[in-house]
Chains A and B, each alone.
Chain A
Amino acid sequence: MTAKLPPPAPANPLAVPRAPLLPPTTRSRAALGLASAAAERRFALQVCAACAAVQYPPREVCLACLGHHLPWRDVPREGRVLATTTIRISADPYFRTRTPWRIGTVRLACGPVVVAHLHGDVAPGASVRMTLRLDKSGQGVMLAMPAEDSANMQDDPQLREMTCDPRGRRVLVTDGRSAAGQAIAAALQAAGAREVFLGVAEPWRPLPGRDRLAGSAVDLDCTDEDSVRRCAASLGGRVEILVNTALHVRPGGISAGTSMATARAEMECAYFGPLRLARHFGPALRARAADGTHPACAWVGLASVYGLAANPAFGGFSAAQAAALSLLQSLRAELRPIRVLRVLTGPVDDEWHQANPPPKVSPAALAAAVVGALRDGLEQVAVGDVAQDFLARFRDNPDTLARELAG
């Protein structure tokens, strides 16, 4: 049974921090499908369109019929352990600093044999639930979990290399002025975060909800370079998860309905704000990504699905959100082993979406999604029915979606 992880011990100032190494990163193009599934908590493998044979390792051509159309499909997770080993000497620098490391051979009920990381509670010969996870290099890997939940199972050291559980970690939520920011801060505190810092811009202004803020308010205005720099100088070495919740939503199009000032403010919030955060917090976060028992682990960015395909009724906002998504994609590559989680939302239930029909996303739903995605180490979560529907349409055909949105 997994031992409960004790709270973080005080850092030893004399100890050399563990370097933020990456596990092996190179993959074939076909194998990247594992990461796409893992990013969203799915368990998907290639399934031959011609003969339905399930494939693993990822292939170009079917092992049973040589068919070349191998779409990724969700498949059953059940499996049984055929063999196990504990690697005590590794040739790879990342694993060398994490041995002993357990792996096993698992036969999946849907056919393939998988060499997988093993959760510590998986016994030889046991039935398992196979999961796809993102490892510290951001690649999709197999992790066999016990068939039944066990106590403290989230604390398994190998599982923790692939997750970003907020428990015991210090979190900065950038926008304490938004309902979403306040809800996310409260949820992270409830999830056992060691400390929650809530950024509040222009603190002299009235702050609705100030009396019931979860965590401690810190002076942070992402539109102000100097404010971000000062906040990073004070908190940069003490934050393990950064959650950027800033969303600046105004209705209005491109040629009319939006002032240049509004367009600039949207861009400040969606692009230049996170850019400042990345430049001032990113390097320190990354440098501490393997340090101690509760290393820095995640960067969370809240963004609208309109960044995927523009909604002309929110044309300026959509353009700014496209910039936000583009920034997150580059940041994901730069910050590894820090996980960059993008939280896609549809219209939030606030004063700026009065004209949108329900369902709209509540701050509490956003908060629950962020905590759940961190616990499972995801890279993407679409919150609410609108965002999920939007994402499904986008994946089906982005061009068709753009035409649907044009009305």
Chain B
Amino acid sequence: MIRHGYEGVVLAAPVTIPYQRHSIHGAAWWIGRALAEALRAAGLRPADIDGFCCSSFSLGADTAVGLTQHFGLSPRWLDHIPMGGACGVVALRRAARAVQAGDADIVACVAGDTSTPDSFRQQLQSFSRFATDATWPYGGGGPNASFALLTDAYMRAYGATREDFGRICVAQRQNALAFPHALMKRPLDLAHYLAARPVADPIALFDCVMPCAGAEAFLVMREETARALSLPAAHLRGAIERHHAFPDDPIQLRGGWAMDRDELYAMAATTPAGIDLLQTYDDYPVIVMMQFEDLGFCAKGEAPAFVRAHDLTAAGSFPHNSSGGQLSVGQAGAAGGYLGLVEAIRQLTGQAIGAVVPGARTALVSGFGMINYDRGLCSAAAILAAP
């Protein structure tokens, strides 16, 4: 069966609640603020939304269910997406089908997390059963160590160098200097990148994202709803997700995008050459390279040459992570899975708050999440178009 397209589905009211390194507030405070801000931006009251979708790592025993009572919502459509870096695109996919089918008219998609001085360690030690049993007891390196292993394998397989990864980080920092909410605002050059404190070889400080508190949100609705509300909105052209792709690969050198990208571009009736802006999930730069390859911007193993040949800044030859990405803005838990998507909506609807990507009409946003054991299990991507 041919998949139905996403005709008539739009995204509006992109919201970022400025991140903080640590917060005395709970996750619900951050999620609630993002929801309130999205509603304010759209001129809506809480009763006007009939769908709610939430992602968070720090809600404790709560899910989206508990938040309905906390926030005074009575939605007729509710979802909770525990998929980390893939949660934004996956939330969008779910919400898009709901509004298309009329199960809901307006779905608020929100991701947010809080951060305390010890919350990251606590989250790591109980991140997943396999992590508790089989990775956390091996040095307590958390994702730094997991991605160090993937980075080491990638470097051995394809000859990538630390300089190649550094180009990604340096360009993103350049983008972040103009983005008001970025936590990392000091200029970064390749020399500083290479001289940084080693964390888990070959990963050093500037390859790692900073855990922080924050939230992101957007609204999903039908095009006519957005028009009636006079909201600038981006169109959803295509979207894919895949979980636990290529289980027989002994170590992860590719993600699920490679299985589904043809369908993604076919749905959107475009090609990699038609993408004006790419927002990848950038925790860590090796995963950015995998996305360049697996989403078809270059062949497998050629991402190192690709980053040498392109200017990845917002005004460059290959605009990428125009807000600075998690590497410079910070990683507010599950909100990291929304950051690129919310930024893409802003860029496509003329609402950029930092560096502007000139002439951005079509954006590709991809997500990657959940190092359950030795590899990231969730991959997702969506193509959005300007109104």
Contacts and interface: CB of A to CB of B under 8 A. Distances in A.
Contacts of A89: 141, 144, 197, 199-200
B144 A103 contact: no
Contacts of A139: 137
Contacts of B120: 91
A85 B148 contact: yes
A103 B149 contact: yes
A123 interface: no
Contacts of B250: 82, 105, 107, 113
Interface string B294-337: 00000000000000000000000000000000000000000000
Interface stretch (A26-34, A184-192, A289-297): A26-34
B137 A87 contact: no
Interface in A91-114: 91-92, 94-96, 99, 101, 103-105, 107, 113-114
Contacts of B125: 24, 26, 92
A191 to B, nearest CB: 29
Interface in B110-163: 120-121, 124-126, 129-130, 132-142, 144-146, 148-150, 152-153, 156
Question: Most chain-A Cβ atoms within 10 A of its Cβ — which of B135, B144, B200, B203?
Answer: B200
Nearest to A135: B137
B374 interface: yes
B229 interface: no
Given A27-B133, A28-B129, A116 B138 contact: yes
B180 interface: no
A84 B199 contact: no
A90 B132 contact: no
B246 interface: no
A221 B138 CA distance: 43
Contact of B141 (A94, A103, A114, A135): A103
Contact of A105 (B121, B133, B141, B149): B149
A58 interface: yes
A27 B126 CA distance: 10
Contacts of A31: 133-134
B198 interface: yes
Contacts of A24: 125, 132, 136-137, 140
Contacts of B124: 91
Given A91-B141, A113-B374, A56 B134 contact: yes
A213 interface: no
A89 B121 CA distance: 12
Interface string A108-137: 000001111100000011000000000101
Interface residues of A, number: 42
Nearest to B208: A89
A61 B55 CA distance: 28
A30 B135 CA distance: 15
B132 A28 contact: yes
Contacts of A56: 134
B251 interface: yes
Size bracket, chain B contacts: 35 or more
A141 B137 contact: yes
A9 B234 CA distance: 69
A83 B140 CA distance: 17
A184 B243 CA distance: 56
Contact of A87 (B129, B133, B139, B156): B139
B201 interface: yes
Nearest to A57: B134
A159 to B, nearest CB: 14
Contacts of B6: none
B374 A115 contact: yes
A400 interface: no
Nearest to B204: A88
Contacts of A27: 132-133
Residue of A84, A92, A101 with most chain B CB atoms under a 10 A cut-off: A92
Contacts of B251: 82-83, 105, 107, 113
A295 to B, nearest CB: 20
Contact of B132 (A26, A104, A114): A26
B136 A104 contact: no
B374 A85 contact: no
Contacts of B148: 85, 87
B141 A90 contact: yes
B29 interface: no
B373 interface: yes
A142 B138 CA distance: 9
B201 A85 contact: yes
Contacts of B149: 83-85, 103-105, 115
A57 B373 contact: yes
Contact of B140 (A28, A95, A105): A95
Contact of B139 (A58, A103, A125): A103
A103 B149 CA distance: 9
Nearest to A141: B137
A104 B135 CA distance: 11
A86 interface: yes
A90 B137 CA distance: 11
B138 A85 contact: no
A142 B374 CA distance: 14
A87 B153 contact: no
Nearest to A93: B140
Contacts of B153: 82-83, 105
B16 to A, nearest CB: 27
A398 interface: no
Contacts of B136: 24, 92
B140 A85 contact: no
B246 to A, nearest CB: 12
Interface of B: 120-121, 124-126, 129-130, 132-142, 144-146, 148-150, 152-153, 156, 197-203, 250-251, 373-374
Interface of A: 23-24, 26-28, 30-31, 56-58, 82-92, 94-96, 99, 101, 103-105, 107, 113-117, 124-125, 135, 137, 139, 141-142
Given A95-B141, A103-B139, A125-B156, 18 more contacts: A24-B136, A27-B132, A28-B129, A28-B133, A58-B134, A84-B149, A85-B141, A85-B149, A85-B203, A89-B141, A90-B141, A91-B120, A103-B138, A103-B141, A103-B149, A105-B251, A124-B156, A139-B137
22 contacts: A24-B136, A24-B137, A27-B133, A28-B133, A56-B134, A57-B130, A58-B133, A83-B150, A83-B251, A85-B202, A86-B200, A86-B201, A87-B139, A87-B200, A89-B144, A89-B197, A91-B121, A91-B140, A95-B140, A107-B250, A113-B250, A114-B134
- List 7 A-B pairs, minimum CB-CB distance, nearest first: A92-B140, A85-B148, A57-B134, A83-B153, A31-B133, A87-B141, A87-B139
